[in-house]
Structure 1
Amino acid sequence: MKALFLLTICTALSALLAFSNRFAHEKQFITKSPDQQFVMEAAEGGMLEVKLGELASQKGVSNEVKSFGKTMVADHTKVNDELKALAQKKQITIPTAIGAKKQQKYDSLAALNGEQFDMLYMNMMIASHEQTIGLFQTESNKGEDAELKKWADSKVPALKHHLEMAKKLFKASPGAAKH
């Protein structure tokens, strides 16, 4: 029953992520240049990583999840600060808080406890980093601003490292063995 519940949550989050990716992709052509859209999405995603990391360092059951959360806070705070400075230089206004969809993700995780919290957090980190790697690689390959392209490219190795760490923790978690 517990495994079915977690599978249902993971499936729902995957569908939500796919829908939000499609909406964000379509929206960029209406309102902003691809470079501006990248900065906006990267800024909001980075803020969510920090908030989720803070939550994991407080509510995580395993020491590994708590430690991973702290790493996400430290690494993404540094990257967020770099992005803020770069955006300011490029005269791009970035959001100061996460939007409603990302807040829903945060709220859904905050409502959980125990192994369910750890499992969903690590699952979210896998999905989030996969999405973020795609976002940064797209900017690196197709962006128009040379400085943003170079900056995005320089962050991909660390994002890939975070993804691998998240996958290892997810596979090692007690609930993962039940799937």
Structure 2
Amino acid sequence: MKNLFILSILCFGAVSAKAQIPQPDPDTTAKHFLIVASIKNLQEISAGELALKMAKRPEVKTFGQMMVTDHQAAEQLLLQTAKESGISLLPAATGGIQPDLMLKNAGAAFDKMYVHAMVSGHRNTVEVFQNYATTGKNAAVRDLARQLLPKLKHHLEEIEQIEQKL
């Protein structure tokens, strides 16, 4: 009987100790998604601005302008969603993104390098957004991913068409 009493105290102690351990944020993926999406937006804007200056082909310049316009709008929506959801983003994820140095120093190969970077980048971005749009736990962030996904798919289609012409 004494052993049963001691065992029950130990079990109760283990249960109450577990309850006191702080639990992690149940949806850290929302913050991670917003950080990744913000960095991707800023990279597209930066590279798009570079395309406006350095591209030789008019369709590459046009695509660059679309990147600047669309991703600036997407970034504003993202920041608004983060604020309304009470998610704070690190300053490094919301500003100061510079274009890839290889792209910046591409010279005559700029158009080809830019298009290649945009194709692979948008394939990855569409996948990231599609994942969160279907499995994300934060409703507001999931809605943002769903809202921006058609535009990202359109970007991918456009840049793939340009790639075929090169």
TM-score (norm 2): 0.78
**Range with bigger deviation, 69-78 or 144-153:** 144-153
Contact 1:57 1:70 in 2 (8 A): yes
- Give how far 1:94 is off: 2.3
Unaligned runs of 5+ in 2: 1-23
Counterparts of 1:30-45 in structure 2 under 5 Å? Answer: 33-45=28-40
1:113 equivalent to 2:107? Answer yes
User: More helix per residue: 1 or 2?
Assistant: 1
- Give me the whole-angstrom Cα distance separating, in 2, the residues matched to 1:52 and 1:163: 15
Structure of greater Rg = 2
User: Per-residue CA shift, 1:122-154, capped at 9, x if unaligned?
Assistant: 011111111111111111111111111111012
> Across the two proteins, how many residue pairs are aligned to each other?
139
The alignment yields a C-alpha RMSD, in angstroms, of 1.9
**Is contact 1:35-1:145 (8 Å) kept?**
yes
Equivalent residues in 2 for 1:1-179 (5 A)? Answer: 33-97=28-92, 103=98, 106-114=100-108, 116-173=109-166
Q: CA deviation at 1:112?
A: 0.7
Structure 1 runs not aligned, ≥5 long: 1-28, 174-179
Partners of 1:95 and 1:165 lie apart in 2 by 32
**Structure 1 residues 150 and 123: CA distance shift in structure 2, 3 A:** same
The TM-score with structure 1 as length reference comes to 0.72
- Contact 2:85 / 2:140 at 8 angstroms: preserved in 1? no
